[in-house]
Amino acid sequence: MINVSNPMFDVIKSDLAELDEGLTGAVASSVELVTEVGTHLVSAGGKRIRPALCLLAAHGGPDFDLKRVLPLAEALELIHTASLVHDDVLDEADTRRGQATANAKWNNQVAILSGDYIFARAFGLIADSTYGEHVSRRLAELVCNLSVGEIIQNHTVYQSVKDLDDYYGRIQKKTADFLEICCELGGLVGGMPEVDTRKLAEYGHCIGMAFQITDDLLDILQTSEQIGKPAGNDIRQGIVTLPVIHALNVSPDAAELERIVTDPEMTDEMVDRALAIVKATDGIELAKQQADDYLERAQAVLPASLPADIREAFLMVTDFIGDRDF
């Protein structure tokens, strides 16, 4: 369920309540176990940022119709949920958002197949609607990019990646492309002019890049209790992020850091040492500045045609990403 106490989505609070009801119905099956797993997954928390961006963008157009846009918003959230289910299997994660993952609560087989089922339900919602070929094609591209991003990430685990362009390309596929499509397709279904739809797409790209950079920072700077997963988990899983890549390039202890991040058998003490090396550089500040730059671009590109309350909501999203508690 969305955190309705967060004011950034007050303008679409009733829309999101209907979305939650639709998600529960979308994962229902004649098979009790499938319904149980699906309901657990769509009820496991989250801020519903992806469907919320879609709904906000649709509100920005002259042809907003909640019943018309809801299947698209629901499909976007289902695609996100399915991708997380598969991620948790790959990462052997036990918890997400403070609750048991599907693979922990049931097993890997149930989790993988449930993720497949939810992907299929997402595209079923689109097939039952009248959005046209472009929406279907863009959603297919989205799932392809999510998969490619994960393949790249998993192929490079426990490797000493030192090229920031590789990192930016990976997070674009993992996160930014998704938020870009949410904004673009929402604007399209809401009847926004093409030039404004392109601007919203760029907004989505920029906040997506900023969101992933800050998420990677949280993994380094916050405690396990704060982020709902083990601190330093990326390093533990052999995933190098912007501050780590920077440290690998500039730290006097780069050689030691490289030995740690390339060791699949690293201990908790080694993870703590890696975090200390990273924090001793200016990589944290570099990453924060990069995120801030993307958020400034996002705010600057918002279409002038947006209604005042919708524009304010989009600006509050950028503030939320920039103000996440480090």
Q: Quick one: which H or E segment has residue 157?
A: none
- Among residues 157, 146, 326, the alpha carbon closest in space to that of 235 is found at 157
Q: Give this prediction's pTM.
A: 0.90
- What is the CATH classification number for the domain harbouring 116? 1.10.600.10
Does residue 214 form part of some domain?
yes
Does residue 310 form part of some domain?
yes
Does residue 56 form part of some domain?
yes
C-alpha separations of 77 from 59, 68, 84, 124, 248 in Å: 18, 16, 11, 13, 36
Does residue 305 form part of some domain?
yes
Looking at per-residue pLDDT, the higher value among 123 and 129 belongs to 123
Looking at residue 113, its amino acid is L
Q: What is the pLDDT of residues 77-109, one digit of tens each?
A: 999 999 999 988 888 888 887 788 889 989 999
* Percentage, residues of the chain above pLDDT 90: 73
Is the predicted pLDDT of residue 326 greater than 90, yes or no? no
Does residue 63 form part of some domain?
yes
Task: Report the b/e string of 76-114 with b at 16+ CB within 10 A.
Answer: bbbbbbbbbbbbbbebebeebeeeebbbbebeeebbbeb
Q: How confident is the model at residue 111 (pLDDT cuts 50, 70, 90)?
A: very high
- Asked if residue 62 lies in contact with residue 191, where contact means CB atoms within 8 angstroms, the answer is yes
Domain count, the chain: 1
pLDDT at position 81 is 93
pLDDT at position 142 is 94
* Mean of per-residue pLDDT scores for the chain: 91
Does residue 1 form part of some domain?
no
Q: Quick one: which H or E segment has residue 38?
A: helix 32-42
Looking at per-residue pLDDT, the higher value among 197 and 4 belongs to 197
Q: What is the pLDDT of residues 36-66, one digit of tens each?
A: 988 988 887 778 999 999 999 999 999 999 9
Residue-by-residue DSSP string for 39-56: HHHHTS----HHHHHHHH
Q: How confident is the model at residue 2 (pLDDT cuts 50, 70, 90)?
A: very low
Range of the domain at 223: 7-322
Task: Report the b/e string of 274-304 with b at 16+ CB within 10 A.
Answer: bbebbeebebbebbbebbbebbebbbebbbe
| Mean pLDDT for the stretch of residues 284-289 | 96
> What does the alpha-carbon distance between residue 70 and residue 75 come to, in Å, rounded to a whole number?
8
Span of 123-137, 221-235, 258-272 with lowest mean pLDDT: 221-235
Cα 122 to the chain's mean position, in Å?
17
Q: What is the pLDDT of residues 167-208, one digit of tens each?
A: 999 899 989 999 999 999 999 999 999 999 999 999 999 999
Q: How confident is the model at residue 223 (pLDDT cuts 50, 70, 90)?
A: low
Does residue 75 form part of some domain?
yes
